[in-house]
Structure formats: structure tokens, C-alpha cells
Amino acid sequence: MRVRKALWICCGVALLAACALPLVSETQLEVESANQFQKMRGQMPVATDAATRRYVNCVANAIIAELEPPYSDRLWEIEVFDEDQLNAFAMPGGKIGVFTGIFKAAKTQDQLAAVIGHEVAHVTQHHALERTNRELTQEIGIVGASAVLGGNRNMADLIRMGAQIGLSLPYGRGQESEADIVGLKYMADAGFDPRAAVQLWKNMEAQNDGAPPEWLSTHPSSDTRISRLIEALPEALERYNAARAAGKVPRCR
């Protein structure tokens, strides 16, 4: 009887997981992103210095201009938060947040472009959607087992919470590495020097005495990460030189 019960549980979990994928759509994630972004604006201090806001917008808009549709067609919202943290983020639906503390490590326009390019790459590569549905698949399995055993967990409520889960989870190592390389291409195409990305990660480490900042709490800037960026530099420099030849010379100050 115990074996039979276990088999029924496994079958129920597998069926629920298979039928539920994809659990959360890109549109649902974008709606939740917009809600969270507005909450942050209401709960956290925003920078009021006009020059700082112009500077961040200048770099961010240069990166956005190099994206492909549908991302290049969106009206991106950019906010600067007056918080002393080495932090920045981008959210599905076209939301970018930069914390003023990031300037302790991103000391030039090119280094800031490396930060923003990396974060925007998480959006264009659908990393938040991937981690949302990965996490929810596991949770749906728990719900399925609970239902077979007579539990009363509400699956609909769980799925509604899925977008919030996905936006709060850390990215995986593979996603971080992909964002590094894709972001490097974005900044180079916009006319920012991709070599600045290597120095950025070194600055990050120096600011934290070897400990990962909040932005990289689960994926510290290791020698391996920097070496991968260096390996990608030849192609990035070709893109950078082509961009500069085409007149893309950002002057964000």
C-alpha cells in the first residue's frame, strides 16, 4: 500500500508539472515588475541631483538603442535610487534601477555601461522568466503531493505569486555568465569601451575586500569570471571599433 501510494504521488506530481508549464508568462512577469518598480519608487529615496540623473539616463539610453525589437521599441523607465549600495537591476517590461552606491565601483561612463548592459541582458535573455518557472515547477510538485495526500494548498494562489518569486530569486551561474557576455556586446555596440568591464569587476572586489557585494551576493566576481570577459574582448573590441567608426561616441558625464 505504501509503494502504491508513493507511485500515485509521483504520477500526480509529474502530471501537474507537465500540464502547468509554462506556469508564468512574460506578460504576467512584466505586470508584476511594474508593480514592484512603483513600490520601490514609493518606498525608497530617489536621487534628486539633475546631473546624476542625466548621466545615468545617458548611459542607459545608449545601451537601449542597441537592443533588438521588441526591447528597442519599449519605453524604458529608468530610476536612480539614492542608496549607498553597490546595486543595480533591470526588470522585464523595461525597468532599470541604479543605486548611487554603484558609482563607488563604476567610476566611468564605460564602467557604468558594463553594469547596465549586464542587467539589461538578464531581461533580453529571459532569465527572470526562466527562474520563475523553474522555482514554480518545484512548488507545483509540492502542491501536487499535498493534493494527493489530502492537503488543501491553493495552486491558483501559488501561481499568482510566481512572478514575485521569480523577481526576488538570485540568478544562476550560467545566467550570470551569459549576461556578462551579452552585456559586453551591448556596451561595445553603443560605443562604450568593453575593456572597462574587466576593471569594473576588479573595482567591485576592491570595494568589498574580496567579499561579494549585494548585487553579486551569490555570484562573486571571481578570477574565472574576469578571465571569461577577457576571452570575449577580441570580438567586443571589433564591435566597439565599428561603433566608433559609425559615429557612436557617448559623452555621458
- Coil, helix or strand for 96? strand
Question: For residue 4, what pLDDT is reported?
Answer: 40
Integer Cα distance of 161 and 167 in angstroms: 10
Q: Which entry of 32, 66, 119, 205 is annotated as an active-site residue?
A: 119
Cβ burial of 181 (10 Å; 0-12, 13-18, 19+) is: middle
Cβ burial of 237 (10 Å; 0-12, 13-18, 19+) is: middle
b/e code 76-93 from CB counts within 10 Å (16+ = b) = bbbbbbebeebbbbbbbb
Question: For residue 24, what pLDDT is reported?
Answer: 76
Q: Which of 126, 113, 242, 111 has the alpha carbon at shortest distance from 178?
A: 126
Integer Cα distance of 37 and 160 in angstroms: 18
Amino acid (one-letter) located at 167 = L
Segment-wise mean pLDDT, segments of 10 residues, the chain, 253 residues: 40 42 76 92 96 98 96 95 94 96 97 97 90 71 44 50 56 84 97 96 79 51 80 97 98 92
Judge whether 28 and 163 are in contact, CB under 8 Å: yes
* Strands laid side by side in the 77-81 sheet: 77-81, 95-99, 88-91
Question: For residue 42, what pLDDT is reported?
Answer: 95
Question: For residue 197, what pLDDT is reported?
Answer: 96
pTM here is: 0.80
Question: For residue 167, what pLDDT is reported?
Answer: 57
Structural element, H or E, at residue 172: none
Question: For residue 77, what pLDDT is reported?
Answer: 97
Judge whether 66 and 189 are in contact, CB under 8 Å: yes
Please say if 178 is a catalytic residue: no
